[in-house]
Chain A
Amino acid sequence: DTAVSQTPKYLVTQMGNDKSIKCEQNLGHDTMYWYKQDSKKFLKIMFSYNNKELIINETVPNRFSPKSPDKAHLNLHINSLELGDSAVYFCASSPGTVSGNTIYFGEGSWLTVV
C-alpha cells in the first residue's frame, strides 16, 4: 500500500483554469505538507498542516489554497492557473515535527499549464 498518495500524477491544463491536487496518507501522521519543486530543482515548502491546523504558509500566492478535511488528507486547490505554476508538487507527511522525524513523500504531481 502506498503510504502517501497524490492524484493526479500528471495534469495538463490551460491558463486561467482552476484545478485541485488531492493527497492522502495512511501512516497515521499528524502533520502534512505541500512542497513545490521550482525551476532550479529545489524542493520548497508551501504549506504545512498539523492536526488540520495551518502552521506554515510560506508566502504562497493566495491563488493556492490548501484544505485539510481531516488529518489524513491535505488537498491543494489552485485558482486562475498561470504559466509559472507549471512545476512538480509533492505532498508529504510526518509524525510531528521534522526536527527528528522523517518526512514521507508522495510521488509528485506534474502540473503543466499551457
Chain B
Amino acid sequence: ILNVEQSPQSLHVQEGDSTNFTCSFPSSNFYALHWYRWETAKSPEALFVMTLNGDEKKKGRISATLNTKEGYSYLYIKGSQPEDSATYLCASSPMDSSYKLIFGSGTRLLVRP
C-alpha cells in the first residue's frame, strides 16, 4: 500500500446499529495514525492519535485499534446515533516526515433515525 485508503467510502446505518470502518496505511513508513471526525462546513475534529502496535483508544461510544505490522486501523461506533453522521478521516504520519499527515478520502457515515 502506497497511500492511505479507507473503506467503505460511505455507509448508511440505522440508529442503534454498531458499525466499523477500516483505514489502511503503508506499514513500512509509519509513525502515527490519526482519526478525525468531520462535519461539512465545520473543522475536522481530532478523535485519536495512536502510535503503538496493538494500541486501543476509546472516547465514549467510539473506539479505535491499530495494527502497525500489517498497516491497518479500525474505527468502531457502538450504538450509532444520528449525531454521529459525519465523514471519518484517517491520516498517517510517516516516519520520514514528522510534520506531514497523509489523509485517506474518508468514510461518510449517515445514521438514520
On B, residues with C-beta under 8 Å from A are: 31-32, 34, 36, 41-44, 46, 49, 51, 89, 91, 93, 97-101, 103-106
Contact = CB atoms under 8 A, between A and B. Distances in A.
Interface of A: 4, 31, 33, 40-45, 48, 50, 55-56, 58, 90, 97-108
Nearest to A88: B41
A56 B34 contact: no
A108 B106 CA distance: 17
Contacts, number: 63
B41 A97 contact: no
Contacts of B89: 43
Given A98-B100, A103-B46, A41 B34 contact: no
- Main secondary structure, interface of B, reads loop
Contacts of A56: 97, 99-100
Contacts of A33: 99
Contacts of B100: 45, 48, 56, 58, 98
A9 B92 CA distance: 27
11 contacts: A48-B100, A90-B43, A98-B99, A98-B101, A99-B32, A99-B98, A100-B51, A101-B49, A102-B46, A104-B43, A105-B36
Nearest to B95: A99
Contact of B32 (A45, A90, A98): A98
The 6 closest A-B pairs by CB, nearest first: A97-B98, A102-B46, A43-B103, A105-B43, A48-B99, A105-B44
B88 to A, nearest CB: 13
B43 A31 contact: no
